[in-house]
Amino acid sequence: MNAERFSAVQRSLVLDRLINAFKDDPKIGGIILVGSGAVGFTDQYSDLDVCVVVRDDCSLRETYELWGSRIGELFPVLLHQRVDKSAHNLLHVVVLENLLELDLGFLKRSHLYAAKPRWKVIYDRDNGLNEQMKTSWEGKQQLVPCTSRVYADTVEQAWYPALHAFIAIRRGQPWRANYEVSLLRELVIEGYCTRRELTGKRWRDLDCAENPFKEKLKHTLPKSLDTAGLEKAYLAVLELLLQELSEWEKCLAITPGKESSFLRSLIFECATGSEAT
């Protein structure tokens, strides 16, 4: 592939062309820049994340499909994927020949809400989009459902990799052990990032985490796949998991339940090397 990577200027030109094209379509009620673009882009490598608001009296699917064809007319496309995130949220993932990624999410105004605290309304045909985003975000902040869900998922799921990493190390299965340790690490990262309104998926915002956490996280990466290296990483991730469980419970103001107590007991047994499991 001989593609030359895009510049910040080229990215700006692509965005301007998109905005003008969307404005010409009466079915489009607004355009919102999300991701790093909402606050000026992280750097020259940042892609374009755009929320395309379809008017409620128009068909979401038809508008989405129409723009699937239109994108190829506007730009030289290297890759184009269509993703149904839900019945109300349809995504075009496009990579241009200059390797600029466009993530164009289509949804109706009645299903529009702020998923993260940063956005920038760059076109509003009917007015009120910014207020709608602001109100939805303020409402979300009152609920903490996401943190609660992540905590519950961790308590429910962590026992399996915790137990099977222990077993794999004892069996002399280093690759299996490494995999199970990595699953525990992912649960820790997701919980940490969720509580701090960072994006844990693909470790996108992990570099923004506090240094003490990152230093502890380093120890969960095995320096080798021999038994000693794996055991050190395993014990480090168990310690970090226990720390995060306590932080989540403090944040949610809850007392550890039956599943959480079971997980803690299991972690203690595995950490002390008990073979009772």
Predicted pLDDT at 141:
54
Answer whether CATH 1.20.120.330 is correct for domain 145-271.
Answer: yes
Least confident range from 156-160, 173-177, 224-228, 256-260: namely 256-260
Predicted pLDDT at 5:
81
Residue 38 reports pLDDT greater than 90:
no
Least confident range from 147-161, 173-187, 217-231, 233-247: namely 147-161
With both helix axes pointing from N to C terminus, report the angle between 227-252 and 159-171 in degrees, rounded to the nearest 10: 170
Question: Greater confidence, 41 or 8?
Answer: 8
Residue 1 reports pLDDT greater than 70:
no
- Mind listing the pLDDT tens digit for each residue in 67-105? 999 999 999 999 999 999 888 999 999 999 999 999 999
* pLDDT classification of 169: cutoffs 50, 70, 90: very high
Residue 78, strand partner residues: none
Predicted pLDDT at 194:
84
Residue 129 reports pLDDT greater than 50:
yes
Question: Greater confidence, 182 or 251?
Answer: 182
Same fold, 8-141 and 145-271: no
Residue 48, strand partner residues: 102
Predicted pLDDT at 277:
38
Residue 144 reports pLDDT greater than 90:
no
Rounded mean pLDDT, 42-70: 93
Please tell me the distance from the alpha carbon of residue 72 to that of residue 78, in angstroms, as a whole number. Answer: 10
* pLDDT classification of 276: cutoffs 50, 70, 90: very low
Question: Greater confidence, 194 or 177?
Answer: 177
Residue 237 reports pLDDT greater than 60:
yes
* pLDDT classification of 172: cutoffs 50, 70, 90: very high
Residue 164 reports pLDDT greater than 70:
yes
Residue 146 reports pLDDT greater than 50:
yes
Answer whether CATH 3.30.460.10 is correct for domain 8-141.
Answer: yes
Predicted pLDDT at 66:
96
- What ranges do the domains of the chain cover? 8-141, 145-271
